[in-house]
Amino acid sequence: MAPTGENGCVQEDEGLGWGKSLPVPSVQEIVRNDPQCVPERFIQEKKDRPLDSELYIPADSSEIPIINFSLIANGDEDELKKLDSACKDWGFFQLVNHGISEKVLQDMKAAVAAFFELPRDEKLKYAMAANDLQGYGQGFVVSELQKLDWCDLIMLITRPPNLRKMKLWPTTVPGFKDAVEKYSEGAQKVAEELLADLSLLMGMDRDGLKKLHGEMKQAMRMNYYPTCSRPDLVLGISPHSDGGTITLLLQGDDEITALQIKNKDRWVPIKPIPNALVVNVGDAAEVFSNGVYRSIEHRALANTSRPRMSVATAMLPNDEAEIGPVESMVNDDRPRVYRNVKYVDFLRHVFENKMEGKAHTDFVKIKS
């Protein structure tokens, strides 16, 4: 294995070519050493902090649409209309009856939890390389001055299999590889069906979006949010939109509402539904749809009660694929909003900048 430097960052390796993230201290280790400690770099500017009212969400509050996957997979017209509206009006929905078994979901959660329970030195064996984004560490750290998120992560490319960097897949966690492979396979089937449905809604053949992706990639970001003594000062993940086409999120704790999305200038909590997936439109889908389907800002809050984990599985076009509005989504009433760009150039823009709202789609907008 390549040598490690300060903070466990592997010094040399062949990276993805998308960018890098600077090594920073592990939040989990900070809390282990002193549960009351909140270092200055994690304290958000006042304008960015969650309001007290946003930290204590009523347990029954949840407004985003719920889509029945089994119905849309069978071509139910009413459910397809609901999917269309959800992607236009919300950019987010909860997906039920998706066909991934409860055992696969629970095994995936257990594998992630087991990894983060490993001793620090063991986790550092899987640290991100200095020029890469795969592995254990933190993401989107591009400056020594920026505020940091209250979150540790391990990010892996899970599909296609030939792009997996197996030395970053923890071997000391029993069943980790099997759990990730089975969940990855299930998530891919769900994502491909959703992309086929969106293709039809966008006036294309079922395989329209899939063809535009080239050899589609799947990236899995496994997040760990330690408890925080002052959740009013920090953010688990800063507000951002996702750079892929769609993302499937597995929430690790059905009792904690931490994910929030921005809708009509207010933060709306997404209360977990047991065994459901949260699906969101990514920047690439917004570009393909010429802005009809919208990627939405979202963030995650910290909490005082117990650690939390989640698994975000993103579907990405091939690096060499070109993203731009499809012909069926451009007309006199809806002129072209975005230019065509090579997807790897868009990704490099995403990863060389701090996560900050909807800034990434501005990169591909046609300037008036």
Are the CB atoms for 186 and 99 separated by under 8 Å?
yes
Which pLDDT value is given to residue 264?
A: 86
Reported confidence tier of residue 8, pLDDT bands at 50, 70, 90: very low
* Residue-wise pLDDT tens digits, 288-309: 999 999 999 999 999 999 999 9
**Strand partners for 278:** 94, 249
What is the overall mean pLDDT for the chain?
90
Reported confidence tier of residue 226, pLDDT bands at 50, 70, 90: very high
The pLDDT of residue 59 is above 50: no
SS3 category, 126 = helix
The pLDDT of residue 9 is above 50: no
Does 357 or 313 have the greater pLDDT score?
313
Instruction: Write down the residue that tokens 């064996």 correspond to.
Output: 125
* Residue-wise pLDDT tens digits, 106-125: 999 999 999 999 999 999 99
* Residue-wise pLDDT tens digits, 130-153: 777 889 988 766 667 789 999 999
Per the omega criterion (within 30 degrees of 0), is the bond before 160 cis?
Answer: yes
Which pLDDT value is given to residue 286?
A: 97
Q: Count the residues in the chain.
A: 368
The pLDDT of residue 359 is above 70: no
Which pLDDT value is given to residue 6?
A: 41
Name the token pair of 39.
């270092």
* Residue-wise pLDDT tens digits, 265-279: 889 999 999 999 999
Could you give all domains of the chain from N- to C-terminal order, each with its CATH number? 27-364 (2.60.120.330)
Instruction: Write down the residue that tokens 């789609």 correspond to.
Output: 361
Reported confidence tier of residue 245, pLDDT bands at 50, 70, 90: very high
Which pLDDT value is given to residue 63?
A: 78
Stretch 89-93: mean pLDDT: 97
Which pLDDT value is given to residue 142?
A: 64
Reduce the secondary structure of 178-230 to three states and give it as a string. Answer: HHHHHHHHHHHHHHHHHHHHHHHHCCCCCCHHHHHHCCCEEEEEEEEECCCCC
Cα separation of 96 and 99, whole Å? 8
Which pLDDT value is given to residue 139?
A: 72
Which pLDDT value is given to residue 347?
A: 87
**Strand partners for 93:** 279
